[in-house]
Each structure stands twice: as structure tokens, then as C-alpha cells.
Amino acid sequence: MKPSIPRGTRDFGPAEMQKRQYIFNILKTNFQLFGYAPIETPSMENITTLTGKYGEEGDQLIYKVLNSRIHESKDDKKEILKKEFNIALEKSYNSELLTEKALRYDLTVPFARYVVMNHHSLTYPFKRYQIQPVWRADKPQKGRYREFYQCDADVIGSDSLVNELELLAMMDKSFSELHIPVVVKFNNRKILSGIAEILNASDQIIDITVAIDKLDKIGKEGVVKELLEKGISETAIKQLEPLIDLSGSNNDKVTVLNTFLSNSEIGKKGIEEINFLLSNLKTINIQHIKVELDITLARGLNYYTGTIFEAKANAGTFTPSILGGGRYDDLTGIFGLKGLSGVGISFGVDRIYDVMEELNLFPPDVNKVSTTKLLLAYFSEAEQAHCIGLAAKLRSKGINTEVYPDVAKMKKQFEYADKKQIPFVGVIGSNEITNNTIMLKNMLAGTQEEVGFETLTEVLK
């Protein structure tokens, strides 16, 4: 049989893992720097935990896990199962008789579930980070995978906007260290609610926001067309126009919003929040990222209620969203714990990787297949034991060392070192054993000299 892996999933070889771990390490270090503690949750959740949290589209993309051993069901249950299955063949339908588990779709909802289940042992505000894969039953394409890693940082149990500011500071530091030019767009769901309220279309808020969200993709006419298709009235669309045309600096935009939303309480609250963030950007000393208010930013996830974030690379031709996040005022409410507001962001490592690859941003020492510093090569079995012993001594000094495991021609051993980009080869023959030395070759320079153990460790440090 031909080996293969499911569509949209990938293997990661040593060279890729080296680079992936480089990203993970930077994010992890920064999460800890800002006081987030790690947790992990299972790959599978009860399906009821996940459904209804991601919008209609999102629910369709949840990977369902078929209940096991259904063939062992009793006959009368089998009859019911057949009926359920027939329904599922006709329409989108969830039956716990068929599937009671599903693969996690993101890390935020499982986190909310975790918080509710561990409410009494947590110290609030609770700050956690989580680095795990998620699965989406999407059709894969460039930058879109069915299995990918999210790196989430969330604070729950505090509605202070200081949390948003700290998240921005953390994004700034992380993207700066990764050397990715980034624009972070932000908006506030309250603004969007306010707009819908002003337009007298509160129940169509999702349709409106989703349409506006596509502005830079399909243009103004496209947006208007989509709004009409969704049944938004022409007068409402006319009203909306100044917002679709909105441009200029962050403060210019706020000015326009101020007039537009002057009769909406929730809208005014949104402006207040946005102003707080804007006026404090200087305080947190943003160095690297561009922060931009974008009222067309909507984000599909249903649970956001306040600030929303999205980041894209600001260079190159491949600029998918590499970070998303926002505030959710009542995600835990669904699981029976009211009044816990949270805010968080999610770094998409796989896309960050793709962007960094395109922009050639991985440092040279990360861009290699092996971390071995020295390969010990030898001529015959007579020197083998000596090499093993020497390797042990070098490793105790913290030097990454390999011994070529087979007795082989020098050529072969050097080819091995070359392919693995090992920078030094130590040749051991009878001369070296007699002299208690090692013939140390610098693979990059092509030079070599006979050195003692002291010099060896000095050079390889």
C-alpha cells in the first residue's frame, strides 16, 4: 500500500521542526514574561461543548468523531441509529447517538470549559497560555490546513482594558522578535452593535459585519451588493456609506464614529473603549507593530463582545491573518458560570511559519537540519571505544556530539557530516590515540589542525 496522510495534514521533518520550535519558544517565553501559565486540554471535547460557539459556518467545520463500536449496539438501538443516520445524510444534523465527541476547533472554548470546571481552584484574574493543535474540516488551500497549531494567551475574570493593552504589548514584543512586519487591526463589537442599532437592523448585525468585513476584498460595490442580498434596506445602506468610506488616521475615524453613533449607548461605550486603547498606545511603548483601527473588522466567531484583534504581515505577497482574538464577556455563561469576562489572542504558528519562510526571516542558526556541533569519525574498530569515551566527555561539557556508529570509509563519514551541516569533524586514528589528540576539521573553512582536549572544548564552546 502507498503510504499517505489525510488531506490538509502535514509531517514535519527535523529542518521544519527546528524552525517551528524557534517560533514556539519565542511565543512561550513572552507568554511567561507577561504572567501567563500553561495548560493543556484534550484533543477531543464533548460535541455539545463546541457546537453553537463559532457561528453557523464554524459549526460545519467541526470534526466529528464517530462513536465507537456502534456495530455492537442491540438491534432496537440499531434501528434508531439507522434513522438518525438517514437524517444526517439529508441535512446538517447532530445526533449524540452517532457522535458524542469532536476534535477541538479552537483553544478558547475548551479554555472556557476548563475555567468553569475548575472555577474553585483558580486564582482570578486567571491568565493561561496554551499551545496545541486544532482541527477544522475546511477545504485546504494555501495557508489553510486541517490541522494546525494555535498559541493562545487569555485572561479571564477581569474586564479591565489594561488586559487588551498588555496583549498589544505582547504582540509587539513577539512579532518584533520574530522580525515580522505586522499590522494589528482592531475594532470593537460594541461599535458594530451600535451601527446595527442606528440602522435599525440589530438582528442583522452578523450579516452587516460580515459584509463590511470584505470591503478590502470585494470593494464598496461588492459590499453594497451583498448587503442588498442579505435584505438590508437601501436607506440603511445609504446611512452606512460614510462608514464604508471611512479612512484617515485612527483619530479621524473616531471623530466620524462619534457623530454616527451619538444616539447609540452601546456604540458610545465602544468608542470609549477604543479611545482608551488609542490614548494608551504610547504608554505601553509600541515599537514594532502598526496598530490600526478598522471598523470593517468583524471576525466570524460568535462569542466576541468587545475588542477584536486581527494581525497580518505587512510585507510580501502572502498575507493571511496570523493572529486573531478578542474579548468575550460571557463565554463561560453557556457552561453555567456567569459574569466572567475574558480577552485573549491566538497566534497561528503555521501561517507565521509560512510568512517567515516567504520573507526569509529565519536566522541562519535556526535554518539547519541538525544541532550537532561535532562528529567523531574514525578508521577502524580499534578507535571506536576511544571515540565513545571522548563523546561522553564532550557531552558532559555541553557540546552536542555524535559518533559515527559504523566502521566506514572516511569519505562516507564526512559526507554524513556535510549533509547534516555539522560544523566540525574530529578524526581519530592510531596517531591521535597515541598523542592523545584529535584531528579537528572545520567543515566550513576546510581547515584542520591536531588539538588536545582543552583546545577542542575551547573551540567548540
- Give the Cα separation of 341 and 332 in Å (integer): 8
Least distance to RNA, CB of residue 395, Å: 22
- Name every residue whose Cβ is closer than 8 Å to that of residue 253 and which is 6 or more positions away in sequence: 246, 247, 293, 295
Instruction: Rule CB under 7 A: choose which of 18, 346, 384, 401 binds RNA.
Output: 346
* Closest alpha carbon to 173 in 309, 316, 29: 29
- Which position has the grid cell 578507535? 383
Least distance to RNA, CB of residue 149, Å: 8
Order of strands, sheet of 44-46, starting from the edge strand that comes earlier in the sequence: 44-46, 101-103, 64-65
Binding of residue 241 to RNA (CB under 7 A): no
Least distance to RNA, CB of residue 443, Å: 4
Is 246 or 408 the residue whose CB approaches RNA more closely? 408
Helix and strand counts by DSSP (H, E) for the chain: 17, 16
Q: How many residues bind RNA (CB under 7 A)?
A: 61
Interactions with RNA, residue window 73-112 (CB under 7 A): 106
Instruction: Rule CB under 7 A: choose which of 3, 7, 74, 436 binds RNA.
Output: 7
Least distance to RNA, CB of residue 121, Å: 28
- Name every residue whose Cβ is closer than 8 Å to that of residue 419 and which is 6 or more positions away in sequence: 369
Instruction: Rule CB under 7 A: choose which of 28, 51, 55, 239 binds RNA.
Output: 55
Whole-angstrom distance between the N-terminal and C-terminal Cα of the chain? 47
Interactions with RNA, residue window 394-423 (CB under 7 A): 409-412, 414-415, 417-419
Order of strands, sheet of 424-428, starting from the edge strand that comes earlier in the sequence: 401-403, 374-378, 424-428, 438-442, 448-451
Is 166 or 354 the residue whose CB approaches RNA more closely? 354
Phi, psi of 15 (to 5 degrees): -65, -40
Long-range pairs of 116-119 with CB within 8 A, sequence gap ≥ 24: 116/332, 116/335, 116/336, 116/337, 117/335, 119/337
Name the one range near RNA by CB under 7 A: 189-197, 256-264, 335-343, 440-448: 440-448
Computed from CA positions of residues 385, 387, 390, 396, in that sequence, does the dihedral angle turn out positive or negative? negative
Instruction: Rule CB under 7 A: choose which of 439, 451, 453, 457 binds RNA.
Output: 439
Q: Can you give the C-alpha Rg of the chain in angstroms?
A: 28
Interactions with RNA, residue window 284-323 (CB under 7 A): 298-301, 310-311, 320-323
Name the one range near RNA by CB under 7 A: 20-28, 157-165, 346-354, 385-393: 346-354
Q: Which amino acid is located at 156 in the chain?
A: I
Binding of residue 430 to RNA (CB under 7 A): yes
Binding of residue 334 to RNA (CB under 7 A): no
Instruction: Rule CB under 7 A: choose which of 193, 350, 362, 402 binds RNA.
Output: 350
User: What secondary structure does DSSP assign to 108-153, as a single string?
Assistant: HHHHHHHHHHTGGGPPSSEEEEEEEEEE--PPPBTTB-SEEEEEEE
Least distance to RNA, CB of residue 221, Å: 13
Instruction: Rule CB under 7 A: choose which of 112, 168, 169, 210 binds RNA.
Output: 210
Binding of residue 376 to RNA (CB under 7 A): no
Least distance to RNA, CB of residue 207, Å: 9
- Give the Cα separation of 57 and 109 in Å (integer): 16
Binding of residue 337 to RNA (CB under 7 A): no
Per-residue binding letters, 122-151, with RNA (x by CB under 7 A)? --------------x-xxxxxxxx--x-x-
Judge whether 313 and 319 are in contact, CB under 8 Å.
yes
Is 264 or 401 the residue whose CB approaches RNA more closely? 401
Judge whether 226 and 214 are in contact, CB under 8 Å.
yes
- Give the Cα separation of 352 and 297 in Å (integer): 20
Q: Which residues sit at the interface with RNA, rule CB under 7 A?
A: 6-8, 55, 57-58, 61, 106, 136, 138-145, 148, 150, 210, 213-214, 217-218, 298-301, 310-311, 320-324, 346, 348, 350-351, 379, 409-412, 414-415, 417-419, 425, 427, 429-432, 439, 441, 443-444, 446, 448
